[in-house]
A and B are shown apart, each in its own frame.
Chain A
Amino acid sequence: MPFLDMQIIINSVVTGSIYVMIAVGLTMIYRVLKFANFSHAELVTFGAYTAYIINVSLGLNLFYGLVVAFFLTGLLGIASDRLVFKKLRSKGSSVISMMIASIGIGLVVRQSIQEVWGPQIRWYEFESKTYELLGGSITMLHIYIIAISTAIIFLLHFLFTRTKLGKAMRGVSDNPQLAMASGIDTEKILLWVWFIGGGLAGIGGVLRGADTRLVPLLGWEVLLSAFAVVILGGIGSFYGAILAAYLLGFAENFGVVLLSELSISTGYRPAIAFIILILVLLLKPWGIMGKKEEGS
């Protein structure tokens, strides 16, 4: 078996760890607001470039960049809601209008990033040693990516199951009217959803940027995979998204090896997510952990 070596497993876990960060925010926003937020891609890119300022322009450790990216991207998420989505919501706009508005927001943010940093490829500055692991090699960066992602998954699990805020987020997405009838200020909870969901996208962007490189299309490149993860996991399902992120990470890395074995260009890599997306929609439209009855 040339495919199933340790290297593929390591690469898959790294890819999955990055997808988790991006997909969880996407699924959180979907679950509460019921629309596919295409501007999530640019939240990812924005986070990556925010960390670039801290890391390269200011010359600080990339870790600080990660923290700042989380906060600023979270705030950008809030801003997009306040400036656009909240207004549409209060007018009773359809989810289609929201989705199209999100494409517009994404365009503006992407163009602004291109305006400031130009189209050229950029890299973060950090050192990353390589270690041997059971016949594969793993870099210090990969270890950080996996550790950060795992820690955040546990934090989110704690948030959703142990804290009042996290339970209220689940409550608001279950039944917003009832949440209001319970005395929950749903608009305030929505701000937290945007902040955390956006912040996680920012973190995903930094991890992705560190693992590959920075370009203004960074987020756009992973958006399809992120949607595939969200749908595969069952739209709106947090645990489903986690599982699906690693599954897709595996499918993509395994698929790339398969493609080259079959002498097909690995340029088809993005098609793997697309094929999986279509297959899930055809065979199991509710995903691996989604609920059949999609509330309203």
Chain B
Amino acid sequence: MENKKKFYFDVKWLFIIAIVGFLLVFQVFPLVYLLIRAFFAEGSFSLDAFTRIYSTSMNWSCVLNTLITASLSMVFGVLIAFPLAFLVGRTNLYGRKLFRTLFLMTYMVPPYVGAMAWLRLLNPKVGTLNVFLESIFGLSEAPFDIYSIGGLVWVLTTFYYPYAFITLSRAMENMDPSLEEASRISGASPVKMLFTVTLPLMLPSIASSALLVFVAAASCYGIPSIIGAPAKIYTITTRIVDYVYVGSAEGLTDATVLAVFLMVLALVILFISNFVIGKRDYITISGKSVRPNTVDLGKWRIPLTILTGLFAVVVIVIPFASVFATSFTVNMGKSVFEEGNFTIKYWETIFSRNSIVKSAGNSLISSVWAASLGMIVCIIMAYLLKRTNVRGRSIPDFLITVGSGTPSVVIALSLIMTMSGRFGINIYNTIWIMVIAYMIKYMLMGMRSVVSALSRVSPSLEEAAQVSGAGWLRRLKDVVFPLIGPSVVAGWFLIFMPCFYELTMSNMLYSDKTKSLGVDLFLYQTYHSQQTAAALAGAILILVAVLNIVLSKLTKGKFSI
């Protein structure tokens, strides 16, 4: 008996060691190397690189641009998300379900698609929306210019407010409604209640959702590269990629130093939001299911519904529609509805041109690998975390959280620096470097999905199998898998989807043979044909929508994201 126990113990350790080893080699080591490299560029400790980087005004301005755009997006994102989360989650607004789906959908759409759409709409010369507004109000010049800090902030905000929306909705729905009722019965009006009870209780969630938006906006590459670059507005991310393209030793050092700044910023914020704010979070999920009391909007019901609808139209419907419209347009200077300006040739192109089909194939292969390997890691880790008390079981969980919090450019850069032969591993120019980058960045989604499923399955179900003599691997196969199956599938898709159209890391890691769909789309958008890019983006949007529906059917509405 004694021996047998020991044997089980060892197997679990083997798994932990394998996973931790993988993360150490491909995540921790590269990131640490990056840090060291930033300070020891010439073999001995020196801040030269730092001084050089931060003394050129070019770099300073990109740091400033990043901080400004990310801060503004954070403020606007929360200002938008809070009322939306309240209206959709807690009131009798019409069409709440539809609105929720719409707002969440943006979350799964690659941000560069939004950038493309807004570029098309708000180009100062030919932007569709600009032209439209000019003709309606008889303006002499375009009311909006997307090529500006303001334009950048606008697109970042419209793409990252869903992050805050998700967090805030969850918090609002989990709050015990009697906390608010107690305020009403004490004599507070609904407005007074909002300011003395609801808002203070939500403060931790508001803070962490704000930080989430900040980090996401600061780490974003797709939007600033599509909108910022033509406007000569550089951010840390676009600057890093430029340096990497330069490729010289000095270029890499400069990229490293900028990356370290971004990484430290992101990880400090991750730490604050997980460990400082997380501890003060009042809204804990009680065992009892609370029946969220809905606020009757009364005479405001229709006006607020219209307002919310308008927001959804401007931020979601118009941009997506414009992407589709672009993909059918012959002459970009004219409307798609004009005589002879409609074509489906770009859609034919994306399904027939060899290079595009090949890129799609590459993306499919690498993201299937990333999702599958990622889920294996996630399942084992979630199981060890939730079902055993093996020591060190939370180390991989921690590392996975850190990995996903690290900006994509930083992950890619660290892999370039360490995995191209210098330390005995050379996977540069293969799909594996992408698979690994994808896993590091997106495994957390799968992990969350499995962990939450496991928390809902009572351990006694497994204990029953254990009593029947099943070992832990056997139990995993016979009992756990069948029960958490849907969540595993959901987790798989949650990793697969962002990898499939990933741009930032792919753009830094691809070679001629491993070009991915996101890179192809980006190249078409920037250099060759915006219509082809739009058709590709349209195809991706459809795929996302379809997978979403499948996912939500599969998991009975629990996961759609």
Q: A and B: real partners?
A: no
